[in-house]
Amino acid sequence: MPVVDPSIPTLANAGFEDPGLAVNDWQQGLVNGWSGSNAWGFANGSGPWGSGGHSGTQYAYVQASSGGPGVGRINQTVDGFTPGAKYQISFWMRHRTGGDIVFGVDPNVGTPMRVYLNDVLILGPTAVPGERWSQYTTRAFVATQTSYTISFVPDLARPGNRTDLIDDVTVERAVR
Ligand SMILES: [Ca+2]
């Protein structure tokens, strides 16, 4: 029987605007509300990583690298799910579009993305994201607990540094 009036969890810093960075700056990790591993972080504007946020000016980056740091990952543990209610996760994604003059490592390619809910795959691998922000939605799931960790893990299917950008992650009630 459907749950009447379930709560809709809100992610912390879902648009990656906090803390504010200088225009065209970027920072490994230290994004309020998020955790991660290897090459992940956030950026502002059209510097080395991309050409601006989907909302605001900032966005996350997460990289899969066949050398060096390996596969990045970005996570947030979200509270406030109503057990028995059906949800889905939506977010905006594009591939890296900024230049990397210093390192000159094929920066402008993306890679398929996987999204996990407590390490259960709920989306992907997606197609390689395009050059424009597009909205993605995971498959629906019925909550059985009040807290879940949502993780974004880029695919290491091909050699090189491949980076996807993420913005505006939301939890929605699934309509079917
Ligand atoms: Ca943003």
**CATH at 78:** 2.60.120.260
How far is the centre of ligand 1, averaged over its atoms, from the C-alpha of 4 (Å)?
A: 32
For residue 3, tell me if it sits in a domain.
no
32 in a structural domain: yes
Lookup: tokens for 88: 């889905």
CA nearest 30: which of 118, 22, 21, 119? 21
Whether 58 and 20 have beta carbons less than 8 Å apart is answered as yes
Confirm whether 91 is domain-assigned: yes
Structural domain contains residue 6: no
Number of separate domains in the chain: 1
Q: What is the pTM of this model?
A: 0.93
Boundaries of domain holding 164 = 26-173
Q: Is 13 among the domain residues?
A: no
Percentage of residues in the chain with pLDDT exceeding 90? Answer: 75
Rounded to the nearest angstrom, the distance between the alpha carbon of 53 and the centre of ligand 1 is 5
41 DSSP β-pair partners: 28, 61
From ligand 1's centre to the CA of 167, what distance in Å? Answer: 5
State pLDDT tens for residues 77-91.
999 999 999 999 999
Within a domain: 56: yes
